[in-house]
A and B are shown apart, each in its own frame.
Chain A
């Protein structure tokens, strides 16, 4: 098969004049033999044969101007010649990594191979060809760690690789499951850690280093831990912080003081804050403020939904993001399909109020309980998302919903089986912080699914995100529905006369994350629609439709 010899490297130039052919058609050449010379503005560039073989023809005449990649000649390779598709000529390129092509004794090359290993431990890392978007200090850091910087995922602006990215990569490949060894096993309903949130929100196809942890880590809400988390948040207040213009703008948008963002990256003694640290810090601030708001809000009707949510304690009052406990880079995000939608909840809130007088203890049923019921119908209609049912032998686990609740000991989860068969009062009682909600509360069969088995997961981190948040999917929570804060938001209301008005109505954002191997986006969207329909018209529960 004929090999086309192309003008591959002209150094600084992009073209030159082929001033002389040194071989003629019919000549036999060995790979690396000089075959032509091209004169560029800077220097004379050598063209060497890329394979052993016989020159078939010249593609250009002497004196022609040739540009990079132009065909220069064709060579019929020898029978067992290495016909690499590179088809590139080796020119006098100082950054060529291989041993020089022309006429080097194998002894010298062998010497080079031996000698080069003496030059320091990081010798093996070659310089990547092509553009690398990382500052020189970061590229050097990668070399110091023996890491090929091009495999490090960049979390800087536009995917730029930061020093933090390199160290994350290094620790992720060294640490293994060390990070989660001490944490209680249990599903992690919502992942709001800095890197996770970023990657989850920005790039659903992010694949970071996976850990061997037995299950996702729960958000740590315990008082003691929280205070330590808060303490670590009261990090340095500096007078100067270095950051790129884009990061500063983001800080403004988020309302964060860059001088308060904890960082250990420095440049010339000045602290440097990059975008992911900024986001992590912003999320933490948000969590603390959000939790405070939920607890101090009044009994005003407008905010009753929020207050109720916190009174029900189905919503964790304050959840510092997972970054507080999980070292960045050890969390797991898999490719996830996320569907967002919003339900107008005035009907279900009203239904809830009416039921209050029927409650044994006079308390209204929780909004979370209503959602759980709607989810149960959805799982029945869209069995693909009923992942609890997949594992069960006798489908005893079908219709199982794992509900994330806050307890005095931290966030724990309750497995609720056959949610469709349970009433809202029952569900409310089981999913409040009182009692032994963490684990068995009589709603699970001891012989049934264990806490770590895959199950549809429902969480309500409304205090964290005002709107939508993107839950992570994990092995034990391959489908997660996260409920945003209930608030009055502008909503279109179709009037009876055909007009449409914008009114303020209580709405609740819903975010559904699905592992694509479980179901695709269309199925997820259909499921969410089923849930929302019942929240907006609770009477549908009566129709079994």
Chain B
């Protein structure tokens, strides 16, 4: 990271170099704006360093080991040995390549880079404090104690992201208490793991460790995993997780831990009726959600007040209450997704540049990288009904898909939701192999205002999993070939 002089002026100041911030900075620079990007940790933010990328790397690697171990049906007999340290090293290599790539892209586009923690002094000035404790980029050459530079800006884009929520009784600083970052940087495979929180982060990591041979127990306060998803989608994922040996306890909240005397720990939980349970574990992963990072930002000096949960309210142009200060990504609230952050970053930069951009995406897809994967976009049939449409649904089960059979993974289905009168595609829910990839097509259909006929009339390659999307669309029209039409 380059040095910044004492006081600099810039047109656009971007605070935070995660998927929201670095994308905003690059876009702003592309539009000809003088842009400065401030980051106190590593480029790429949580997504690149301790979230999306590392988790997918471990999901793939652990999945590969598991596939090889369970492929007898295909005539493959193997029991791979897993070297977790090496796996993590491989993952780190990917992360390094990507963060280096982000830095290069920023520089190539003419973005000025600054390192340190930014805080607002007033509406048009921040102070960037270079604090040794915050620098973990391994570069010792340009650090100096207590340096502070100030940056005057015309516009600012706050992209400070979020961090894992810490719950009482489980301090992340304890070695055996993991947050997602620690879970992705483990040195050895724990024998027993308790996962507190059955949301997407908890479930993805539970699956990784179950496939690596850990005995996994998931403790969840609600009555099922993956809250926002539909029952028939969740059920498939939960059953498969149970097949992997994962144990679920619903309606219980983690209350604390104690040492169990054998070098391990007991994780204590309590349900609604006050009934207590304890589960033995070597590690406990707390994944109950993420909260926005706004502490130390000095927002009050800029005239911005976060909501009581710490989020920054914004309008459809990403502006906060102070018109020239934007907020994008997790700090701006839902949807807390990396691709939403990037889209918001683009819009923020374009709005600053005076273009008629706005957050008007018709649908933002979401994916859960469990086994099987989940990919959803747009409305469920119930959502559509509530919104005043007359929904029609079409489904295609993967156990009728030739390609799915050849992958050995036939659990799941594609469901497409459309408006009966017009045929407009309103939503899709996919659970099954490659759902995270397959959901892109329905997302495109929704965004373009395509109809079921458009999707069904588009020739899909055979044999692929993507054909199931086409069949689901045909099923909605009552004319699927490869599945019975109700």
Contacts and interface: CB of A to CB of B under 8 A. Distances in A.
Contacts of A114: 323
Contacts of A69: 386
Contacts of B80: none
Interface in A42-73: 42-46, 63, 65, 69
Given A41-B228, A94-B333, A127-B360, A17 B221 contact: yes
Interface centre among B362, B386, B457, B458 (most CB of A within 10 A): B362
A50 to B, nearest CB: 16
B307 interface: yes
Nearest to A159: B422
Contacts of B386: 69
Given A15-B227, A40-B228, A131-B426, A245 B304 contact: no
A395 interface: no
B315 interface: yes
A84 interface: no
Interface stretch (A96-104, A289-297, A510-518): A96-104
A5 B423 CA distance: 35
The secondary structure that dominates the B interface is: loop
Contacts of A249: 457
Interface in B194-221: 199-200, 221
B450 A244 contact: yes
B195 to A, nearest CB: 14
B313 A100 contact: yes
B226 interface: yes
Select the residue from A99, A100, A157 with max chain B CB neighbours within 10 A: A100
Contacts of B166: none
A103 B306 CA distance: 9
B228 A95 contact: no
Contacts of B450: 244
B321 to A, nearest CB: 5
Contacts of A95: 314-316, 359
Contacts of B314: 94-96
B454 A246 contact: yes
B317 A46 contact: no
B454 A119 contact: no
B334 interface: yes
Nearest to B226: A41
A112 B323 contact: yes
B39 to A, nearest CB: 22
Nearest to A114: B323
A104 B332 contact: no
Contact of A43 (B200, B315, B333, B426): B333
Candidate in A65, A99, A101 with the most chain B CB atoms within 10 angstroms:
A99
Contact of B308 (A40, A46, A94, A104): A46
Contact of A11 (B315, B335, B351): B335
Interface in B328-342: 332-336
A97 B289 contact: no
Contacts of B424: 131, 133, 158, 160
Contacts of A118: 323-324
Contacts of A119: 317, 319, 323, 351-352, 354
B125 interface: no
A347 interface: no
A16 interface: yes
B290 interface: yes
Contacts of B305: 100, 102-104
A98 B314 CA distance: 9
A537 B451 CA distance: 49
A100 B272 CA distance: 35
Given A134-B449, A143-B356, A12 B228 contact: yes
B309 interface: yes
B358 interface: yes
A161 B291 CA distance: 39
Interface string B337-366: 000000010000001101111111110001
B307 A46 contact: yes
B484 interface: no
B365 to A, nearest CB: 11
Contacts of A128: 360
Interface string A196-209: 00000000000000
Contacts of A500: none
B267 to A, nearest CB: 20
A107 B221 CA distance: 42
Given A41-B227, A111-B303, A92 B426 contact: no
B449 A160 contact: yes
B131 interface: no
Contacts, number: 197
B11 interface: no
A108 B322 contact: yes
A246 B356 contact: no
Given A42-B289, A120-B351, A17 B316 contact: no
Contacts of A37: 309
Nearest to B378: A131
B333 A92 contact: yes
Contacts of A34: 307-308
B133 interface: no
Contacts of A127: 316, 358-360
A42 B447 contact: no
B451 A157 contact: yes
Interface residues of A, number: 73
A530 to B, nearest CB: 37
A112 B319 CA distance: 9
Interface in A103-131: 103-105, 107-109, 111-116, 118-120, 122-123, 125-128, 130-131
B320 interface: yes
A114 to B, nearest CB: 7
A40 B334 CA distance: 11
Contacts of B317: 116, 119, 123
B307 A126 contact: no
A94 B313 contact: yes
Nearest to A103: B305
B222 interface: yes
A65 B272 CA distance: 13
B454 A245 contact: yes
Interface string B416-458: 0000011110100000000000000000000111110110011
Contacts of B275: none
A102 B307 contact: yes
B316 A246 contact: no
> B221, B321, B422 — which one has the most chain A CB atoms within 10 A of its CB?
B321
B338 to A, nearest CB: 13
Contact of B458 (A11, A144, A158, A245): A245
A176 interface: no
**Most chain B CB within a 10 A radius of its CB, from A46, A95, A108:** A95
Nearest to A101: B313
A92 B309 CA distance: 9
Contacts of B311: 92, 94
Interface in A2-29: 11-17
Contacts of B89: none
B323 A246 contact: no
Most buried by A among B272, B421, B422: B422
A244 B120 CA distance: 50
B383 interface: yes
Given A41-B200, A43-B290, A157-B454, A12 B335 contact: yes
A105 B309 contact: no
B319 A116 contact: yes
14 contacts: A46-B309, A95-B359, A96-B313, A102-B308, A108-B322, A111-B123, A115-B324, A118-B324, A120-B355, A120-B356, A127-B359, A131-B362, A159-B422, A246-B454
Interface of B: 123, 199-200, 221-223, 226-228, 272, 289-291, 303-305, 307-309, 311, 313-324, 327, 332-336, 344, 351-352, 354-362, 366, 380, 382-383, 386-387, 421-424, 426, 447-451, 453-454, 457-458
Q: Which 4 A-B pairs have the closest CB atoms?
A: A115-B323, A11-B334, A41-B227, A100-B313
